[in-house]
Amino acid sequence: MEITFLAVFPLSNLKDQLNKLKKNIFAATGEYCTMALPPFIPVSLLEIQRNRNTTINLIKSLSKTGKDVKHLKTGSLKMAGNLLYLEILTGDFWLSLNKLFGSTSSAQPVIKPYKGFFLGCLHKPLKKLKAQEYGISIPESFSKFSTGIIQITFPEAGTWERVYWNFEIIKKNIRAW
């Protein structure tokens, strides 16, 4: 099973903090799945056969969306089913992304678009929902990011063993939408 997302990727300082957060959460819970996946905001599920030029145009549109937003604010950890995200709180940002991009695929993916950074999959809900409770201080907001696509391959539908991924950054270091 393969899924492809139009995605927002954090720059290195936030990426490092999110990776440390994942490591600490999974150490505390004993779960390990998706540790290797980079943190990303899954904006829209894309058809795998999508034309590269169409994808690049979507990414250019993504970088223009919400141009009045000066910072993206981070929130608390949220569970959406068994998926763990660090929520993004910036006003109508997510609504405008959903309206503009929606989902271009009818697939029912293991990971779903959500208004936050995807951190992993857990078998049990988290009891602590603040990054600080795992010894990590996540910045309250950020104004730079990259956009691109991430393609994730699962050997079997619904399994998290031997997950492979690759991503391509199309627009780097985008400043304050």
CATH of the domain at 160: 3.90.1140.10
pLDDT(148) > 90: no
Number of domains in the chain: 1
Measured CA to CA in angstroms, residue 18 lies from 75, 77, 118, 131, 132 at distances of 13, 11, 10, 9, 12
pLDDT at 66: 47
CA distance 31 to 25: 8
Q: Sign of the CA dihedral 166, 125, 25, 74?
A: positive
Which residue in this structure is represented by tokens 């056969």?
Answer: 49
pTM for this predicted structure: 0.81
Average pLDDT over residues 139-165: 74
Summarised one tens digit per residue, pLDDT across range 103-117 is 555 556 678 888 899
Name residues whose C-beta falls within 8 Å of residue 87's C-beta, 6 or more positions apart in sequence: 74, 75, 76, 77, 78, 115, 116
| Angle of CA points 18, 128, 30, to nearest 5° | 70
What are 101's two structure tokens? 């991009």
How confident is the model over 135-164, as a mean pLDDT? 76
pLDDT digits 0-9 by tens, 44-69: 777 655 555 666 666 666 656 545 55
* pLDDT reported for residue 127: 85
Can you give the residue range of the structural domain that contains 17? 2-175
